[in-house]
Structure 1
Amino acid sequence: MSYFNTSHFTNPSTFILLGVPGMEAIHVWLSIPFCTMYIIAILGNFAILFIVKTELSLHGPMYYFLCLLSITDLVLCTCTLPKMLSIFWFNDREIDFSACLAQMFFIHCFYAMESGIFMAMAFDRYVAICDPLRHSTTLSNPVIMKIGLALLMRGSVLAFPCPVLARQWPYCRTNIIPHTCCEHLAVVNLACTDVRSSSYYGLFVANMVICMDIFLIVVSYTQILRAIFSLPTKDARLKTFGTCGSHLFAILAFYIPGLFTVLTYRFGHNVALNFHVLFANVCLLVPPMLNPIIFGVRTKQIRDRLLRLLTNKGK
């Protein structure tokens, strides 16, 4: 078959994405849950953006960060899912070499950016609870814009070396990627040279981004909990903690699968490859799908606005 091209070349014009190795016969069935999650992610995140834009009472730091999160989620799932579905539905496995590297960049850039947004949201909750009088001045619109640009720049700077390093390696074994997308390690492992620099750099970035952001989130919430437990009444403590609930749920939905994926890629050599690929795709899809649901259900202002929109349309 043409897919199993093992001729010698140093810079392939295209790669072949296998999809989920060993499960090609049920690709169409696998597409159903992934397509459903993608539709929910698209509709949910656009709904968040529309509600915040049209509701003047939601023009505040917390909701601006939520809009940044929705935009990041839309980019993160859209840079991978359409190609995955074209593999599942139309057996369209080829991807241009440059397009593959671009996809690699967007995956890692916006994944790092999403982690940074959760860190920024934790800081927002810290200021809102521990220093509420200075909340609007500390997190003014220009400051939020600068934070967003800084997070985008951080993600870009950290992700850029991945495709740069991948481009320089000679690919003389095969151009077949046993994955649904151009994930960094899945690509560089095809090279017929020592790629430890790419592997170590990927591990360094993953650890630096995740560990640093989680550390700062923990520091923020340690201060938040201290402030909450110093409140005089139980009702006040529950009400204040309730404002952080949606953020905490979203953090868990993002970091727990992400950490599991990083660990299994590095140390889970006995884990089946198809499980690796499926779970990596779940990690890219589940947070964009769950975030608008979590914030929509648990944030009263967004929930009320959405109910008003649905009620008015129903009349």
Structure 2
Amino acid sequence: MTTGVTDPFAYHAPATVREASQALSRYRGDAKLLAGGHSLIPMMKLRIASPQAIVDLRNIDDLKGISETDDGGLMIGSMTTYHELITSDLVNSKAQAISEAAAQVADTQVRNWGTIGGSLAHADPAGDLPAVAVALDFQIHASSARSDRTISCDRFFRGYLETALRANEVLTGVSCAASGDGSGSAYVKLANKASHYAIVGVAAAISIDAGGMCTAARIGITGAGPHAVRSRRAERILVGKELTSNVIARAAQRGGAELAGLFNDDVHASAEYREAMTKVYTERAIALAMERASG
């Protein structure tokens, strides 16, 4: 039992995903998984979270690493750090928005310790990686002691700090489809100067054909509401058109207006400011993704 600056808690350091899930089940929803810890530990110090137990994932080798799937996509273990995402040639060549977002997370210390799985499971509404997950249509892989399942990103984020993960499940990794010639992705954000959290962050994934017409588009936005969201109206405007500056600007304007009822109004920014900046940064993200797709 560990005590001190937090409420007392039991500590477990399993060697396998099965053992981790069994530990979660033992506490019937009153245990927390520890990945990098940069979100969980401060919450525990403030008594915002007071779990009975901590289940540390750092000894589970199966949760680490980046690899190419058989169809040319990406598979990323949940305990892969931001630094590893930033420096991975595979990630940079196949999904630049991932490394771009990871490079804008907090500071060097956090990037060396924080993980992609921790970011997605925590589901902070101002987090960077959730927007990229939405834009790149991540498939979220989760395991319990009894079963494995894959959760579509569109069904994963459910509310403020809330996901589709069950109480006994471990997020084991994420995958995304291959991005061939004519595809590009980007992430841009307006950051809070002190915390580096996104006031608004936008990820875009664009595909174009040989004639320059947009064949697919997904746009993920963070900082707008209780969780990362898609800008479906902007996507519809882009698909089937040549991405001129006018088309991109119209998509950004319509996309920002679509989310008008969602925007947070808090000490960091007003809802009106967030809406205005969402339009600006959506335009920038689409333009950069298109430039890379044209590459």
Regarding TM over 0.5, the answer is no
TM-score between both structures, scaled by the size of structure 2: 0.26
Task: Give the structure, 1 or 2, with the largest relative contact order (CA under 8 Å, sep 6 or more).
Answer: 1
TM-score between both structures, scaled by the size of structure 1: 0.25
Higher-Rg member (1/2): 1
